[in-house]
């Protein structure tokens, strides 16, 4: 039997030239500053990122309510790799490379759907069972044993109803530690008992790192009038002396609201303490429960709950917004009445898919318990605004005249993302 030959240069990510190229780029970045323009446009760096960042880390791709029943699947692409996740009849979730073992065709060709007990490749109708085993090939004999022609599996982890996959043969082993810390925060929101109210795919015309950077700071939040209804604009270490009298008054009301909210969270037994592990580990993550302004119930225009039915066993809507970030591709807002998940995947060096999903209690009915426009408005508008910000950042930073400027204090999470990114590339390339 001949050895498998990968279709791309197997030495590419190990080649001296590539290591030196990435090392030179990383060396060119100044800590505490924005990334140099080459980080957003360089083709070799982008190819290395697909292999070393997206090919070797845990990626959030869907939540369990997106595939609630046995046979439900979702397809997506991680760089050049078509993948699908599938709910099996026993309730377990598996993921496979969506590439037929005959002549390669994508077996599942819709974004989402339902398969029967078997998966049938539409090209020559090879048949696989839900464990990926080839069980029929429409020919009386094959020159290779069927046992060796299983679909290639992809690692899957579930965290409180969120589905993560990893393409690496040996995924980072720190996922269980993150899960152990995060489950007490996430489980009360009962993701598995929700359903999808709406999902929107948006393509941002910018490099994926600009999408993540933009998500990791609210320095720009004055450009989000809808989001600013519910979100206080205070992040990181606040220098009170530097605040204007107007800002000082707003800060005082923020502190009062936060104190009251924390007392409520303590009474409700809801965890709220900050966990900040955005770098220093392969699966970087962070969680923080943010107090909301106004009525303090939800991320809506009137700051009140969008859905009459609260999630899980919640009886009080004033739970703030539990933010959860996972490097490199996801962030989440867990509210008392709904959840918003965001999954990003690069389409090419200058385009990034942002998939936003709104989850509500499984028993909630549109029209009776919630108004879809009210539920989705804040993030529909905010995403559009962010897409413009990312596109303009990409266009400006692609100019040869661009020089990275200094990050400000409230952009501390952008700095942490940069640290994580550099650590992961250096670790992968032994730099
Ligand atoms: S490519 Fe799938 S059956 Fe031929
Ligand atoms: Fe934004």
CA 376 from chain centre, in angstroms, equals 18
Shared domain for 152 and 195, answered yes or no, is: no
Number of domains into which the chain is organized? 2
Q: Is 45 a domain residue?
A: no
Q: Is 33 a domain residue?
A: no
CATH number at residue 197: 3.90.380.10
**In ligand 1, which atom is closest to the CA atom of 125?**
3
Ligand 1 and 223: CB distance under 6 A = no
Using DSSP bridges, classify how beta strands 162-166 and 59-63 pair: parallel, antiparallel or unpaired: antiparallel
Ligand 1 and 105: CB distance under 6 A = yes
Rounded distance from Cα 136 to ligand 1 centre (Å): 11
**In ligand 1, which atom is closest to the CA atom of 101?**
2
Shared domain for 218 and 329, answered yes or no, is: yes
- Angle ∠(274,280,282) on CA atoms, nearest 5: 100
What residue numbers bound the domain in which 207 lies? 176-429
Q: Is 138 a domain residue?
A: yes
Say if CB 168 and CB 155 are below 8 A apart. yes
Helix, strand and coil content of the chain, in percent to the nearest 5, comes to 35, 25, 40
Q: What pLDDT tens digit does each residue of the chain (431 aa) get?
A: 344 444 454 445 668 889 999 999 999 999 999 999 999 999 999 999 999 999 999 999 999 999 999 999 999 999 999 999 999 999 999 999 999 999 999 999 999 999 998 999 999 999 999 999 999 988 877 888 888 999 999 999 999 999 999 999 999 999 999 999 999 999 999 999 999 999 999 999 999 999 999 999 999 999 999 999 998 877 666 677 777 888 888 888 888 889 999 999 999 999 999 999 999 999 999 999 999 999 999 999 999 999 999 999 999 999 999 999 999 999 999 999 999 999 999 999 999 999 999 999 999 999 999 999 999 999 999 999 999 999 999 999 999 999 999 999 999 999 999 999 999 999 999 99
CATH number at residue 120: 2.102.10.10
Shared domain for 246 and 395, answered yes or no, is: yes
Q: Which residues of 231-262 are buried (b: 16+ CB within 10 A; e: fewer)?
A: bbbbbeebeeeeeeeeeeebbeebeebbeebb
Ligand 1 and 119: CB distance under 6 A = no
**Which residues, chain by chain, have CB under 5 Å from ion ligand 2?**
386
Rounded distance from Cα 120 to ligand 1 centre (Å): 9
Shared domain for 152 and 181, answered yes or no, is: no
Global pTM?
Answer: 0.95
Ligand 1 pocket test, pick from 100, 106, 149 with the greatest ligand atom count within 8 Å of Cβ, gives 100
Shared domain for 149 and 101, answered yes or no, is: yes
Shared domain for 193 and 328, answered yes or no, is: yes
Give the per-residue pLDDT at 10. 45
Rounded distance from Cα 340 to ligand 2 centre (Å): 15
């Amino acid at each position: 039997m001949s050895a498998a030959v990968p279709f791309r240069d197997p030495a590419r990510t190990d080649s001296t030239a590539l290591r030196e190229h990435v090392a030179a780029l990383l060396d060119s970045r100044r800590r505490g500053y924005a990334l140099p323009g080459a980080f957003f446009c360089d083709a070799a760096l982008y190819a290395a990122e697909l292999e070393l960042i997206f090919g070797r880390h845990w990626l959030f791709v869907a939540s369990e309510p997106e595939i609630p029943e046995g046979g439900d699947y979702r397809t997506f692409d991680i760089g050049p790799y078509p993948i699908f996740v599938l709910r099996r009849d026993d309730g377990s979730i598996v993921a496979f490379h969506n590439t037929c073992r005959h002549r390669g065709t994508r077996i599942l060709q819709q974004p989402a759907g339902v398969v029967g007990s078997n998966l049938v490749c539409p090209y020559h109708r090879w048949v696989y069972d839900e464990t990926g085993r080839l069980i029929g090939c429409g020919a009386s004999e094959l020159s290779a044993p069927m046992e060796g022609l299983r679909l290639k599996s992809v690692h899957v982890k579930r965290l409180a109803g969120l589905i993560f996959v990893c393409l690496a043969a040996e995924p980072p082993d720190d996922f269980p530690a993150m899960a152990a810390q995060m489950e007490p925060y996430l489980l009360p929101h009962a993701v598995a008992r929700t359903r999808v109210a709406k999902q929107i795919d948006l393509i941002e015309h910018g490099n994926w790192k600009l999408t993540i950077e933009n998500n990791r700071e609210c320095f720009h939040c004055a450009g989000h009038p809808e989001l600013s209804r519910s979100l206080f604009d205070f992040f990181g270490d606040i220098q009170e002396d530097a605040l204007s009298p107007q800002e000082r008054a707003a800060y005082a009301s923020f502190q009062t609201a936060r104190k009251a909210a924390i007392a409520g969270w303590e009474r409700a037994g809801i965890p709220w303490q900050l966990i900040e592990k955005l770098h220093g580990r392969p699966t970087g993550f962070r969680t923080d429960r943010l107090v909301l302004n106004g009525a303090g119930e939800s991320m809506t225009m009137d700051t009140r709950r969008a859905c009459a039915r609260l999630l899980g066993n919640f009886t009080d809507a004033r739970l703030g917004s539990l933010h959860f970030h996972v490097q490199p591709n996801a962030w989440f807002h867990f509210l008392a009445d709904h959840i918003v998940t965001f999954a990003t995947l690069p389409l090419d060096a200058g385009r990034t898919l942002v998939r936003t999903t709104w989850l509500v209690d499984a028993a909630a009915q549109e029209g009776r318990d919630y108004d879809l426009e009210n539920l989705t408005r804040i993030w529909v508008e905010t995403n559009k605004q962010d897409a413009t910000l990312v596109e303009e950042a990409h266009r400006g930073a692609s100019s040869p005249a661009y020089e990275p400027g200094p990050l400000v204090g409230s952009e501390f999470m952008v700095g942490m993302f940069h640290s994580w990114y550099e650590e992961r590339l250096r670790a992968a390339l032994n730099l």
